[in-house]
Structure formats: structure tokens, C-alpha cells
Structure 1
């Protein structure tokens, strides 16, 4: 290990490096398996960044802290590893909060290490220090699982190990750790960190609840399943499919659960949760299994969902259970819960001479019901003059290789993708957890970095509107600096398109939704990033060409897209 500062002389007059708290932070992270850190240097955090120079951790510097948070989030989503974020005090820490809200809402494991003013300034004992907040970690309380303040260097390894453990334990999420400036900088007697172990806390379902759920399902005539993001986070896709096939239960995936169930499976209602035909099926189920979803705004078709049957709700987050509907609430990790439920269903069926699970949807088989429901959804779309929108989304889908991961900002294209995107062997990531703007491009940057760290193909796609693109436009410099293979599709409709549509529907006119925006092609080129502007009909070829290129690139399409109407009134 090399040194940036020196201490006393060792034997024979050798200069011995003076280690500090920053070294303990990076040593512990490395021992826990971290490979990459995102963030921006700052005055009180200099000890962290100096220590990085003596470590094997790869640092990716964004241009805005919020985008660093999105990048760490994207890294974690793409790889399943913990995202690590370094923040400076005060403005730097506060600027990250919107990005952390998305990670918290979506259950993305992250360890956030924020610097703090020196210990003598804490508790308002000395006012007027640069970047000082009365209680910085309190600012993060709404967007992180927990917050810690470390006051002694000897406590750093255990605190970070505990934070890592909490981040990966379901419900997963970001965990906040603060280290004052002097604790990071002062020489220490603590020996180098040799090992660190973080294992997720066990979160199994209660046995009696699994038994009760099996009783309900064994007597169900019309079982159905909603698969949320918890299924993906719990790596429970195989168990979900096994259970669905045993029950012959139709499955619909929420936006966060997109990809949890095969799109073309004969029991798949895909992700059309915003279409009333699908909502009708879910309402008619006599037993509805909701896994890893709060039945929130989008999944409940904007709270129009009125179930007539019983609900079994499985979620690792106790605050989610029965928050929107009465249910048999099972607090557990989705992976552990579905494994237990699957095994219990096998046991329930084994002694029987006749099939235990024989669904009947008013004289229709579940497979027939799914086929008819999807046909009805397509017929509704056919009646709405949406040929341009449907072709545009189909062209993007055909251009994207089956295994490529995609990152979607809050834009009309993403709203379409929530319902119509078949993620195939890739993964679909969007900002629907908290719904803030600016996730797509920095999330894709983090995802690309993460895939490269695994030795995997690192080309990814980000999709933004012109409004959301301006939140993260500075990250073109990050993509160029690291030569990251990120293709950024910017759909430019001259404003906040979805808000324009909402206001026109509600009030007959839109206010404050129109935007002056740059020439995105010239702006990207100013960063040294190749860019092209194409007509909507040429988006497929443009994307295919961009995917074949090296490094970052941008495709701009100027078009106005409409959303589909989800109700019977549209037909």
C-alpha cells in the first residue's frame, strides 16, 4: 500500500505511512466485495477520496450527486450487487436525496458513505462551518433504511459491515453512514481490515400463514397472481412460474415486476395492469396472490381496482402489507416465501388421486381467459389511433438485443413500456418507484459499469424525454470520460409530455409544460459524444447502428406520442 502522508520513522529509518479513517472505509468496502464507488469529491470527504487512491476500488465521478445516486442504483440493479456512493457534506449530501428516494422506494441495496463536519462542530456547538446542517442524517431519514454517525475510527469497519448487512437484507434498500472530516483524516492505530462478512438476515414466512394460504388456494376456482418488483429482488422467478403452473393461475407483472414471469407464457397477462380488461380479471379472482407489490397506484390501475375475492399478500416490507387492501399478510422475502408456498402446494397435491387445482373461470380455462383478455386489450388499442406509438415501441423492442438491459426515465415511452415491454432475457429498469425525473441515463451509466465489472457485455440502452434528459445532460461528460457503451435515446416532444397530456385531459389545456430545449445532437457532439437525429420510422435502424458502435452515443427522435386509454369508454 502506498502512502499520501507520512508518519514516524520505522526500523532502519524507513518512513511508515500514516493510515487514517478513510483507509478503514475503503478497506472494509473492499473486504465486503465492493468493486466500484460512485460520487463526487468534496472538502470534508477528501479523506475518503485520498484513501481511494490507495485501494483497488474503481471510482466513477458523476457531475451531479443526484446522478451519482442514480448510477449507484443502476449498478446494483444491473448486477445484483450493492451500490456504493460517496457524498460530501451539506449540499452534496442533500443533492443526492431524490436519487436515494428512488432506490429506497424500489428496494435497491446501497451503502451511502457521507462525510460530515468535524466532530467539534456537531450538535450546533460551533455554528457557521462550511456545509453545516443541524442534523444531516435526519435529512436522509425519509429515503434510507437507517442512518449511522461514526464518531471514532475504530468503529468504522463494524459500522460499514452492519450497513452492508442491512442493505442486502429484505426489504433491501440504501443505508446511510456518516463519518466526520477529522475521523476520516486523523492518523489511526487500527490495523488494516483483513476480512469482513455480511450475510442477509433470514426473512422466512410463518408456517401457519403458508398453511392457511394453501387452504385458500386449494379451494380456489379462479386464482390469479400479481408479481411485483419483490419477485425480481428475491430472485424468485422460477418459484413464481412453478406455482402459477401448478395453480394454472393467470399472472400479471407490475412495472417493477416486469420480467418476473415469461411474457409469452400461456398464463401470462403480461404487464397490462393499466388496462381495465386485466383489472376485470383480477377483480374476478376468488383468491389473488400479490407478491412483492404494495398494490399501489399503478398496479391498482390508479386505485380503481375493487377485488371481490380474498387476497394473499406477500412482502418483505411490513408497512406494505394490507396498506391498500385487507389481506392475509405474509411478511417474508419473496424468494423464501414462494419456495415455502411451492413446497406446501406440492405436499397438498401429492396424496390426492384427482388434481387438487382445477380452475374454472365461468366455463373458461385460465389459458383461454388469458388469450381472450390479451385479444381484448389489443382490440382496444386498435380502436384508439395509436399506430405511430405502437410501431415506435415495437421498433425499439426489435432493435434491442434480447439480453440487453434497458433503463427508462419518467417519459411517455416509459409509460408505454410499463405495459408493453417484453424484457426477454434482458432486464427492464424504470423510475416508477418514486417517479422522479433523471433516472434513465445515469442509471444506465451505472448499469454499464457494473456489467463491465462482471466481464459481461456492457452495452445498455437509456430512454428519456427531452424534459427528463435535461436533468442528467451533464452526465454525457461522465459517459465520455469513461468511454461507456451507453446508447441514449431521447424522445423530444418539446415539453413535459405526460404532464401536458394529464393537464389537457383534466383542464382542457396545459400550463407550464412547454420547454425551450437545446439541439441535443449538437450538445452531445460538444461533449465529444456521437449523436444523430432521426425520424420515428427510422429509430430501429438508428439504434441498431448505435449498438454496434464503440463508447457512448445519442439518438434523438422528435415526435409527439400519446398514451393509450385503459377503459371501456375508449372503445
Structure 2
């Protein structure tokens, strides 16, 4: 009897000849780019540095497309978005020490949002490792330790023969549920040394599947099928698993209303009769979910934003499906099912019984009417009109990327994403500067659609350097900057807490003139002309900036009576 694991692929005569006579002039960096290409990568992001030059020199001899940004953190955000849009692991090439550390905030966001990023960094020469020589430029006592608490897995290389296997293992880790960023480090001398190792011609790094335990889905299916008032919270795990159609099918079978978290935007159709939309930061929505006798939470850890700032107190039975084991039952007791959202939804679809509940759509309409009435009472017409103008200007199939800014906080609750994997924000880790470089990565991933980035003036200052990247690569990104003179949300927080704000006001450049100095068209708009100006720039190829001077307000705290 022959088992699959006994089979060995034998090289062809041509492969044997090529292996015995590798082309001259290759180094350890070639092993990196050859392995990436063999795994299916077509594009890499990054920033060169002294210790990493072996990798960057090897790009010259490869077919990989290199997209270089101006700051490592921004390169990380671009790779994050590329991974979200394509579902592929996005390679990020970095140098040692300061270059590597500058990417940490971006990798934290990728970890929080389950974006597959494959970061490959150089390291000081092997003579400086393990208690050897000291005093190398960029040296850290233990560089990998700086990343272990942030990324999903760390892979260290010390010899050239380890490079293909380490990168394959990292690739597999990044794409196994839950997706996430991973870290590979390779010493400078290993990258630079000439190699006689044969050309890497392929890779086998299929991600591990994470199916649910059948005895648990059987219990979950029974609970949902016999529930009187089932409801569903859909998080980012549904989007990452490409499981939106299965979610809709299950919701319709159960007649269960669905609310999406900020990370799950677009996972369920906005105007569906069972859609509670995304008003998760609302006391009426919180009460509706608390009243469910069986609540299915899928692809969400029910963290701060997804639990209305931990005020959510479910009274019924909770079923939580989550690929990240550490998030399972971390905030609420539940029937915890450790599984990929897509596989778990399929298992439920095969076992649940159809429910009839003609009252469900009416209960949804009543809830949304209460939400609308509450918002209308706060005299926030400007904010709602600005968000509506953005929605009207943006093509339905175009992705949007939002920084940590007041308009994004509105969008989490009130913006119709028009589809799964269309709306992305930095709500996972909450760092500034995400939107524009992430939008650039999305434009690289799919150049057939214009991409929108939305920032406040504070967040925009983190990313100004990337106007040069947008211009250099001709990326089709329109950047909406809402200028209120400072860190608007922090201004509001401090004023509410202390009576006045400190350290929130900013001296800003003329963003239109600044954009034009990079060769990027800029236009100053008003709330009344925003829709037309934004639509015009989105319809024009290449990068552009739209500046909206406006002081927007947040809706009142939604977890208080």
C-alpha cells in the first residue's frame, strides 16, 4: 500500500540539470525572492536599508513587482491592505533595527484585523548574534523579541539553507485562520553571501484548515433552530473567511436579524429586511441584542467597539465562533467554537432547521427607526450630509480606507459599505496614519477600481510623504482630508472629561498646495460641493487630494440612558 506521504516528486532531467548548475551571481537574497515567487507572490512592499541590500539587489533578477514607500510603517499599512484585498500573504521587506521597529504599529493593526502580512527583515551579521561581537549599526539585543508580542509567529534564519523552509512556514502561518502578520529575520551576511543552492522552483505552503468540532455545531444548530428570538453579530472574521453569502443564507434560514461590527462592515447587505446595519454603538441596538434568547457571534471577539464599550450584557445563550483561540469566550461566557467562520457557517447550514418568524423584519424596522430618531434629535445634519456625499460619490464596488477620525467613527455605524471587503479602517489597533498608505496598497492590489482614503488633518500628517509614492507609481487613490485644525476626537474627549483640551491644536500646511508640489492634483471643497468634487477626482485616473475644512461632531455617547 502506498500512502500520500510516501510519494516523492522526482525531478525531471531539466530540473536536475538546472539544480546542478545554478546561474552564477546569486546570493541569499535570491533565495528569498525565489521562494516568494514560488509561493505565488507577485508584489512586495518595503524600504531598503544597509543590512537588507542583498534582498533588494535580488529583486533586480526577479519578476516580482516592488512598491517602495517612504516610511516603513506606511509600507506595512500598504501590505496590510494588499493582503485584505487579495487574500494573499503580502511580503514586506525591511531593514534591521530602526527600519524594522518603525513597522511595528502597522503590524499591530494587521494582527488586530487578521490581515496576512509576511514581514522579512534583515539582521546584524551572524558574528553579532548569540553573545558575539557588538556595536553593529542598527543592532538590537534581541530583535525578534520586539515582534513576538505583536505578530502571529516569528521565524529566524541563520544559514542560507534555512531560507526557503522558513519563508514557506511563515507564509503558511500568515494564511492559516486566523490570518495575521508574521516575522522572518535573516542576517546581513547570509543575504549577501554568494550561494550555490539550486534555484527555488516552487513552494508548498497550503494553509491549515480550521473546521469546527461537529458535536459543538450540533448543539449550536439545535439552539438556533429552537430559539424564539435569535440574532447574529457578524465580525471581521466573516469578511476574512469570504463567508458573507453563507452568513446571509443562515440568517434567512433562521429569520435572525444581523448586526455587523466595524470590522465586519459589508458582511451582510445593508438594506436586507433582517439587517440591523452597524449601529452597534447604540443603546437600542444593545438592548435588542441583549434580548435575544440565542445570540450567534461569528468572527468577533466582542471587544470594546463591538460590545458598545463593554456595556453589552447578554441575557440569553451566546454561541461564539472564533478562529483566534485567545478571543474565544474572552469577554462573555458562550458555547465557544474554535473554527474558521466559513467552515462553521457551512456546518450550521447543513444542520439547522428552517424557522418561520414573520415578526423579525418588523422588529428590525422598529429598531432602526428608534436609532434614526435618536440621531435626529442631536442636530447632526452636517455630519450626516457629509457622510452621505461620500457614499454617493464613491462607486459601489470601490474600496475605502478610513483613518482614526470623526468621520470614520460615523462610518463605523452609518456607512453602507455596499459589499464585503469594501470598507477598511484602523479600528483594530486604532493607530493614526492608516488610511492613505493602506489605500495605496489596495490600488496596487486592484488597479481596475478607484480607491478612497479618508483622514483628518492630524492623521494626514502621518502620511504626507506617501504622496510621493502615489505619484511615482501613478496609483488611483483619492484622499479626502477633513481639516478641523487638530486632533478633533481627542479635543472632544478632553473637553468632555476636563472642561478644556490640551495638545490637540495643530499648525497645518496648505494641503492643496502641498499635494500639487508633489505633482498630485488638489482641490478645496465645501460640504455643499463635496459630492461633485469627490466624484470628479475619483473618476480621474491617478492620485488626487480633496480638502474639506469642517469641524464635525460625534453623536452623543450611545451606551447611556
Report the TM-score, using the length of structure 1 for normalisation: 0.93
Whole-angstrom CA distance in 2 between matches of 1:469 and 1:66: 14
Structure 2 unpaired stretches of 5+: 1-20
**1:243 correspondence with 2:250:** yes
1:232 and 1:44 mapped to 2: Cα distance? 37
Aligned length: 540
2:474 is matched with 483
Matched residue, 1:438: 433
Q: Does 1:540 align with 2:557?
A: no
Gaps of 5+ in 1: 1-13, 350-355
**C-alpha contact 1:408 1:429 (8 A) present in aligned 2:** yes
Q: Secondary structure, in 3 states, of the residue corresponding to 1:543? A: helix
Distance in 1 between residues matched to 2:195 and 2:512, nearest whole Å: 51
Partner of 2:355: 357
8 A contact 1:154–1:190 mirrored in 2: yes
Quote the offset at 1:357 in angstroms: 2.3
1:189-208 matches, within 5 Å, as 189-208=196-215
| Range that drifts further, 89-98 or 138-147 | 138-147
The aligned residue for residue 260 of structure 1 is 267
Match of 1:109 in 2: 116
Q: Retained in 1: the 8 A contact 2:49–2:95?
A: yes
1:390 is matched with which residue: 360, 365, 384?
384
Deviations 1:145-186 (A, max 9, x none): 111111111111111111111110001101100010111111
- Give CA deviations for 1:205-237 in whole Å, capped at 9, x if unaligned: 001100111121122101000000000011111
Query: Structure 1 191/15 Cα, relative in aligned 2: closer, same or farther at 3 Å?
Result: closer
User: SS of the residue aligned with 2:302?
Assistant: coil
**Which digits, 9 at most, give the CA deviation of each residue in 1:428-471, with x for residues without a partner?**
0101000000000000000000103xxxx131000000000001
CA distance in 2, matches of 1:173, 1:255: 18
Which of 424, 429, 437 is the aligned partner of 2:424? 429
Shift of residue 82 of structure 1? 1.4
Is 1:553 aligned to 2:544, yes or no?
A: yes
Aligned: 1:97 with 2:92: no
The CA deviation string for residues 230-249 of structure 1, in whole angstroms up to 9 with x for no partner, is 00011111111111011100
Two-structure CA RMSD over aligned residues (Å): 1.4
User: Is residue 219 of structure 2 the alignment partner of residue 212 of structure 1?
Assistant: yes
Secondary structure (helix, strand or coil) at the match of 1:506 reads helix
Mapped contact 2:78–2:439 kept (Cα < 8 A) = yes
**Aligned residue among 156, 159, 165 for 1:152:** 159
1:23 and 2:18 correspond: no
- Deviation string 1:54-76 (CA, Å, 9 cap, x unpaired) is 00111111110000000001111
1:480-534 CA distances to partner (integer Å, 9 max, x unpaired)?
1111111000000001111111112222221111111111111111111110111
Q: CA deviation at 1:536?
A: 1.6
Larger displacement relative to structure 2 (249-258 or 180-189): 180-189
Once residues 18 and 523 of structure 1 are traced to their aligned partners in structure 2, the CA distance between those partners, rounded to angstroms, is 44
Taking the aligned partners of 2:339 and 2:160, their CA distance within structure 1 comes to 35
Please show how residues 456-475 of structure 1 align to structure 2 within 5 Å.
457-475=448-466
1:140 aligns with 2:162: no
- The residue number in structure 1 matching 2:517 is 526
Alignment partner of 1:414 is 2:412: no
Q: Cα offset for 1:568?
A: 8.0
Residues 115 and 366 of structure 1, relative CA distance in 2, 3 Å threshold: same
Contact 1:232 1:260 in 2 (8 A): yes
Whether the 8 Å contact between 2:401 and 2:454 is mirrored in structure 1 is yes
CA distance in 1, matches of 2:393, 2:502: 35
Corresponding residue for residue 373 of structure 1: 367
Measured after TM superposition, the shift of residue 15 of structure 1 is 12
Choose the corresponding residue for 1:228, options 222, 231, 235.
235
Partner of 1:450: 445
User: Contact 1:408/1:440 (CA < 8 Å) preserved in 2?
Assistant: yes
Tell me by how many angstroms 1:49 deviates: 0.2
**1:5 alignment partner in structure 2:** none
Q: Secondary structure at the match of 1:491?
A: strand
| Contact 2:108–2:150 (CA under 8 A) maintained in structure 1 | yes
Which range is displaced more, 216-225 or 48-57? 216-225
1:161 pairs with 2:185: no
C-alpha distance 276-183 of structure 1, shift in aligned 2 (>3 A): same
Q: With the length of structure 2 as denominator, give the TM-score of the two structures.
A: 0.95
1:358-397, Cα deviation, whole Å (9 max, x unpaired): 44xxxx8111010010011111111101000001100110
Is residue 221–residue 358 contact of structure 1 (8 Å, CA) maintained in 2?
no
SS in structure 1 at match of 2:80 = helix
Q: Are the equivalent residues in 2 in contact too, given 1:449–1:458 (CA < 8 A)?
A: no
Deviations 1:29-58 (A, max 9, x none): 001111111111000000000000000111
For the residue of structure 1 that corresponds to 2:280, the secondary structure is coil
Q: Per-residue CA shift, 1:125-144, capped at 9, x if unaligned?
A: 11111000001011011211
2:56 is equivalent to residue 49 of structure 1: yes
Contact 1:151–1:183 at 8 Å: present in 2 too? Answer: yes
